[in-house]
Structure 1
Amino acid sequence: MHLDILYQDDHLVVINKPSGLLVHRTQLASQETDAVVQRLNNQLGKWVYPVHRLDRGTSGALVLTFCAETARHLSEQFSQAKVDKSYLCIVRGHPEDSGIIDYPLAKLNENKGQSRFKIEGTEKEAITNFSCLNRFTLNHPVSKYSTTRCALLEVKTEQGRKHQIRRHFKHIRFPLIGDTRYGCRHHNKLFRGLGRAQRLMLHAKSLSFIHPVSLNSISCEAPLPVSFSDFIQYLADESIS
């Protein structure tokens, strides 16, 4: 299946990555045969170099380049927090209208079978800003609660630590819906049983950066996939408050 291209020139391409697709094969997923890099190699007929990553379950704007040097220059913008990134996510509960999560994150152990464990002493600064766009209350009991509460948030990260958004919202007890690693199993089970939220509810909405060759400002907006927009509509239709 071809990937949706949001922007392309002689030096780089920005795609709208679907949920469920790896950016590239990893040590923990060495047997995977399908990934963004492989699909784009075939789709465009030339090799591509990923500049940053999105988790497998995350959809949205992803940048790749056509040469390693361009990828290196652009990745420096990401590491220096010069790229403006905006995400949408759906979380359990009703957070405040806006907030800042300032909580250092450690590296995660990449050894097979140990990837859930952090490496002590490797904590680095991680700051996540969010604003609440909408709140939903569903007439479905879950765990010890008589109703199910969710919220749609817009999120911006000042860094790009691994699983930063997912780990930060778990830390403040508003985990992402559909997150099988950091999320709430009761809410995930409820929505799966209802035939909803079959994916991680996290979408990389937009990216803005300086083109590493032309030095022009590039801004890309990634449309919501149906799996995400349909879930928002479901929550809006079912909400009792």
Structure 2
Amino acid sequence: MPPLTLLYQDEHLVAVHKPSGLLVHRSALSRGETEFLLQRLRDQIGQRVYPVHRLDRPTSGVMVFALSSAVAARLCEAFSEQRVDKRYLAVVRGAAPEHEWLEYALREEDGIRPKAEMPAMPAATEITRLDSVELPVQVDRYPKARYSLVEARPLTGRRHQIRRHLSRRGYPIIGDARHGKGVHNRFFAQRLEAPRLLLAATQLVFEHPLLGQRIELECALDTPMQALFQRFGWAGHLPLDRQRVLPNAPPLKSTASLI
């Protein structure tokens, strides 16, 4: 098994590219699983790591871990107060709008309690269509198939928020077995060699919890998504693995007032 790609590391935190299909840590829903990102990262760098946010199992991309409980507490606070800028790329069915704010309240999904018992919480996602493609094939009832490349910036952190918001708006993410469309998922898996959820966390921007620096981390796509972007003529939108540390940047403000 190849080592994880480290995007950033200092004595307080580490950031890594989470592969699609890998659970972050053990949970009540992980019965029978033996591989977890947290354990792999711990073994690779030789020290304990503390998760401070989450990515769904099928989602790939940048994740940051603290290297102590004290730093974890500060980073968790930054995420909960929406003082972390997050950018995702998603491939969706249809011609998505050029730019839109999606504000649909969402019930939490913990997989344990009935949905009716879960309160609906405010949720907001900013989406921008970056590109689109039309394929001369009939996938469902239309003679041609249209797909869009969407940038999504969630302002809140509800479970499956981007997936649920885009699906509710009518532009489900390709490869989403729960909120997407099976016929399009199968077309991408069988004909386009893209059998995964086409959602990737490509950027995190946050204030270092101890040093006060602004950390900007960008994460490249994995091989299936890179190949698909090349095939669709979207290579100009491919992110790279890179980091920027801005020592004198002003602190990031909470986005809570925008929702």
TM-score class, shorter: over 0.9
Instruction: Say whether residues 1:145 and 2:142 are aligned partners.
Output: yes
Q: 1:41·1:48 contact (CA, 8 Å) conserved in 2? A: yes
Q: 2:137·2:144 contact (CA, 8 Å) conserved in 1? A: yes
TM-score, scaled to structure 2: 0.86
Q: Aligned-pair distance for 1:225? A: 1.5
Equivalence for 1:163:
160
Q: Which runs of 5+ in 1 are unaligned?
A: none
Q: Aligned-pair distance for 1:120? A: 4.2
Q: Aligned-pair distance for 1:26? A: 1.4
Equivalence for 2:124:
127
Cα distance per residue 1:203-236 (max 9 Å; x no partner) = 1110011111112111101012121111122233
SS in structure 1 opposite 2:186? Answer: helix
Q: 2:206·2:215 contact (CA, 8 Å) conserved in 1? A: yes
Equivalence for 1:191:
188
Pairing of 1:1-241 with structure 2 (within 5 A): 1-111=2-112, 118-236=115-233
SS in structure 1 opposite 2:216? Answer: strand
Q: Which runs of 5+ in 2 are unaligned?
A: 235-259
Q: 1:109·1:119 contact (CA, 8 Å) conserved in 2? A: no
Q: 2:192·2:228 contact (CA, 8 Å) conserved in 1? A: no
Q: 2:21·2:57 contact (CA, 8 Å) conserved in 1? A: yes
Equivalence for 2:247:
none
Cα distance per residue 1:111-146 (max 9 Å; x no partner) = 2xx7xx634451111000011010111111012111
CA distance in 2, matches of 1:52, 1:30: 21
The structure-2 alpha-carbon separation of the partners of 1:77 and 1:152, relative to structure 1 and needing over 3 Å to count, comes to same
Equivalence for 2:240:
none
SS in structure 1 opposite 2:82? Answer: coil
CA distance in 1, matches of 2:130, 2:116: 35
TM-score, scaled to structure 1: 0.93
Moved more, 219-228 or 119-128: 119-128
CA distance in 2, matches of 1:107, 1:119: 10
The one-letter code sitting in structure 2 at the alignment partner of 1:39 is: R
CA distance in 1, matches of 2:233, 2:115: 37
Alpha-carbon RMSD? 1.4
The one-letter code sitting in structure 2 at the alignment partner of 1:89 is: A
CA distance in 2, matches of 1:69, 1:32: 29
Cα distance per residue 1:131-182 (max 9 Å; x no partner) = 1010111111012111111000111010110000000011111000011111
CA distance in 2, matches of 1:77, 1:125: 18
SS in structure 1 opposite 2:106? Answer: coil
CA distance in 2, matches of 1:4, 1:109: 29
CA distance in 2, matches of 1:125, 1:181: 21
